[in-house]
Structure formats: C-alpha cells, structure tokens
A and B are shown apart, each in its own frame.
Chain A
C-alpha cells in the first residue's frame, strides 16, 4: 500500500453499539466476552456488558472469599469462588489443572488475562452492569464487586440499551 491509499470513512460511527449479555462464569467464555468488549471499544463502539447469573462471579473482587447472607448463598460461593482469577473451564477443568494450563499457555503467547482485559475495558469506558436480581439471588453486595462498574440494573435497562445495538449472549 502507498500514501495514495484512500482514507476510509467510518460508517455510522455514533450509532455503533455493542451489548453483551454475559451469562457464563466460565473462563473460556468470560475471556472472549472481554476480548470482544475491549476490541469493540477500540473500534470506537459504545459497549455495555450486562453480567447476569454465573456471569456475575467474574465481577466479584479477587480477595473476597465467601459471599452471601444465608447458608445456601455462602455454600454456593464456597464451591464457586468469584473473581477473574478463580474462573473454571467449561470443559477439561480437572479440579483447576485445566485453567492453570490455559493461563500458562496464555502467558506464553502473551494473551492478556481476564483480569488485564477487565481493567482495560474499564479504562476504555466499557460499561459493566451487574444484574440486580442476580446480586439479590446470590447474596452479593455492591462491596463484594470490583470498583468502577455501573450501578446494578435489571433486564429492562439491559434490553433498552440493546434496542439499537449489536447483541451477543455469551
């Protein structure tokens, strides 16, 4: 290519929006969710990720061990620790050996970790919205979740946001 290359004009730039419904808390799904969110932000899109059900656990602070207000919620967090550093693989988890190998491969290939991608997403203005209903269901308080995210909201807010956006359910 040469200097004479025709300048590309971005198409409908202000209109481009991406809304991801992050339902899964699996490492191998959270990873692409955050890759797509940061990339879309880099492309100038307005990005919102709505975290619901298992998808909410990656937003839990890595240093919070047990969450929940009653024994059922506490038991669930015992078996399914929150935070980007404690995510499991949807297959080949092998009691944590799988994720460790996957993270090592990622480091060797200089693939950004979910934690790095999450920080980048916040830095780039990606709106991370925790689902209020899931927080109530799992007994997660605002203090259990990382800083910098949007206020908890419900399905209506998420769907309204998604009306004129490209949407993904991951």
Chain B
C-alpha cells in the first residue's frame, strides 16, 4: 500500500452488528476518498463488509486475514 490510511478501527472481539455500525459511524466523519482500515474477529464480518460495501458504495479495496483477525481496507465513496 502506498496510500495513507486515514483511520484505523480496532473492532476485534466485537459481535454483529457492532463492526459494521461502528465503521459506518466512523465513515461519517471522513472525507470522500479517505481510506479506513478495520480489524475485526467476527467471522460474520467477512460477508457483512462485502454486503455493506455493496449497499453503501464504500469500496472494499482489500481484505486480508492474519490468523483469526480479519483486516478490511475501505475507501469512502
């Protein structure tokens, strides 16, 4: 990644719907084009972030996994 992440959210341990709700809240404070990095452990967040991206238009730029931690990189639309 050569672009700077504007905000990092540590949402590890939280259950549905908190990862999405907290990410949505953080997005409101950012500018269009900003990158947000989210760390979560809820396995349901994998399909949920994809669905949320589709619903809101915020781009899911990258999704990776390290052991039980999922990392989502999102760009505000």
Contacts and interface: CB of A to CB of B under 8 A. Distances in A.
Interface of A: 1-3, 5, 7-11, 13, 16, 35, 38-39, 41-44, 109-112, 120, 123-124
28 contacts: A1-B60, A1-B62, A3-B61, A5-B60, A5-B62, A8-B53, A10-B54, A10-B55, A10-B57, A11-B55, A16-B55, A39-B16, A39-B17, A39-B20, A39-B21, A41-B21, A42-B17, A42-B25, A43-B24, A43-B55, A43-B56, A44-B55, A44-B56, A109-B15, A111-B16, A111-B18, A112-B15, A123-B25
Contacts of B57: 7-10, 13
Interface of B: 13-18, 20-21, 23-25, 52-57, 59-63, 77
Q: Is the interface of A mostly helix, strand, loop or mixed?
A: loop
A109 B14 CA distance: 7
Contacts of B23: 42
B10 to A, nearest CB: 12
A86 B67 CA distance: 39
B62 A3 contact: yes
Contacts of A120: 21
Nearest to A6: B59
A110 B13 contact: yes
A11 B51 CA distance: 12
Contacts of B13: 110
Given A43-B56, A110-B13, A5 B61 contact: yes
